[in-house]
Structure 1
């Protein structure tokens, strides 16, 4: 997310996980990200969506596009794995990928694991990838795959909407993972307690829009400013300072290695 343009006009906010192509006004949201200077990672759910997303964001100063194969779609889209692998050399950002052991998706879990391991190993072979990862009810297995297949010096992982245990969070941090936080995570006392203990230098913000809504309206990337304010209050840090820390964390993430 660093280019000559963003050097001249640095981001004010970070939305590291947003489904821009699921908004009705996709192009307008990209323009909004640029206008409000929100460094936004546009995740995709299938490899077939990646090229069009990248075309729409090709002139954006602040939007980057990730190549994804969502675990919830594996039952129907596993056949797109060869396309994913063919596109991967041209994609620095990868996501949404991961594991989902929730009741609706548990039947496909063995196939999810197979695909997730293939993706991790391909990312490790190519190096330099930045991954945003889904981990519903599957954190121990997911971290095991990351530990086995993706050395820290070959890729970086951001755990999107992480809801694991404190022990799992510590294990993830020890593996070098980052955590992207959205406003819904801060509504639950249990998750607020978890977020309050995460390493400050591993925090990013996200919306997961348009799935997260405010009063029935899909959240948009600039709304991460409110998440920063809530997160700052939780961590007893001045909001401006926390905002600068999150920008610094993003820079460290994208310039490492």
Structure 2
């Protein structure tokens, strides 16, 4: 691996299909050799993302059923189950107990547990997990289904307590972090607790805001700087570490 590629960006949770120019977003990530997990919010959206990723080396489309959409899209769980064997990458899935989405929480739980049971049985999945106000419940389902034993769970924008972070580490989870979350007390606590080898960078584009508006996919410099400051290690070393972790997860 060349030195330049070894420090190329990693964006392990972003929504390329929700960017204003979907094709351009895919092409830019590939052009800069950004290892990208392009998560989707519905199984119907996954097929288009999968086709657009095509033979790309660096951009990987993930099959998702977002908890915030479960109330109106639960019937797509069958499509999720049909598509799951065709991909190693799952996301965005999980639970959301925010005020707007709590009315569907029981249904979210049923859908998420069924999805994780399937992934546990199929094995060899890399899974990006949503856990808004539900760290304990998400980890309970990860543990109960045994998906952590056959797959690799990655907690996206995780805001759990230190004890929940340690529990997730014990379960073998990884964590994808972005600049906006790392500016919070919970984000800094995560950096103090999680081993560097379990960290990945993400943008959650186009949903993370920066000084100049929404973050573009692959724009992880701010997150890298904050990780480097926390660990008192040069940014180039952080980039190389994150890159090595991402390459191992995607099977390069």
TM-score higher than 0.5: yes
Q: Which residue of 1 aligns with 2:117?
A: 121
Within 5 Å, give how 1:1-257 maps onto structure 2: 12-215=8-211, 217-255=213-251
C-alpha distance in 2, partners of 1:179/1:244? 16
C-alpha distance in 1, partners of 2:172/2:232? 24
- Unaligned ranges ≥5, structure 2: none
Secondary structure of the equivalent of 1:221? Answer: coil
Moved over 3 A (4+): none
C-alpha distance in 2, partners of 1:154/1:11? 29
How high is the TM-score relative to the length of structure 1?
Answer: 0.92
Contact 1:18 1:210 in 2 (8 A): yes
Secondary structure of the equivalent of 1:111? Answer: helix
Deviates more, 1:190-199 or 1:115-124: 190-199
Contact 1:47 1:67 in 2 (8 A): yes
Contact 1:123 1:150 in 2 (8 A): no
Secondary structure of the equivalent of 2:73? Answer: helix
Contact 2:117 2:147 in 1 (8 A): no
- Unaligned ranges ≥5, structure 1: 1-5
How high is the TM-score relative to the length of structure 2?
Answer: 0.94
C-alpha distance in 1, partners of 2:155/2:76? 23
